[in-house]
Structure 1
């Protein structure tokens, strides 16, 4: 079951941070010091092990100063595998589908309402 993502109320990058000058966001990622195996599934991983690994990866993401940049990168690329920005590949597919539906809805002309008179 997909878990709701808590909104972040503080900016991921403090003002005046070196990334403001064009530095790469991933250089400050919390996952740089963790094993990639935490964020990417081995082949034929049992479901219970996958869920536990994904939750552990999400805990790393939750304390990451560039979580939002990472998430947006994974959504715009799109990254088909792994936990990026605190979201699994399945969660990102849901977000991308919602974005596509919203874009289609915004392109539709507004219905005309007849004025009674």
Structure 2
């Protein structure tokens, strides 16, 4: 899934950053994904306009949450967002502020 934030802000996600390439050269196993992303094939957001999941400040998150709450892979999506410190958008039905609070709680336990 293309990260809408990157597209919106003109970030070329098709190229790896130089830092990633350097890390891969030193630690080849770092290049391997930490977890499978096969679950994304079942994500309902793939069938939806990505802008719904990245509303402008003060915009409605209602539609994104509704879609996420009926999505069969919402838990995997939220796990992915927490593992990668996603700072923008609705992931697994959870907006940014609530995700940050959840991440702090998980770090404390």
TM-score (norm 1): 0.59
Verify: 1:62 aligned to 2:62, yes or no: no
Residues 6-25 of structure 1 mapped to structure 2, 5 A cutoff: 24-25=38-39
Give the structure with higher Rg (CA).
1
User: Match of 1:83, SS?
Assistant: coil
Q: CA deviation at 1:23?
A: 6.7
Q: CA separation in 2, counterparts of 1:64 and 1:89?
A: 19
TM-score (norm 2): 0.63
Q: CA deviation at 1:99?
A: 1.1
- 1:38 paired residue among 36, 42, 52: 52
Aligned length: 74
Task: Report runs of 4+ in structure 1 exceeding 2 Å deviation.
Answer: none
Unaligned runs of 5+ in 1: 1-21, 103-117
Unaligned runs of 5+ in 2: 1-35
CA RMSD across the alignment: 1.4
More helix by share: 2
In the TM superposition, what whole-angstrom CA distance separates every residue of 1:42-88 from its partner, at most 9, and x where no partner exists?
3xx4x2xx2x2x11100000110101000100011111100000100
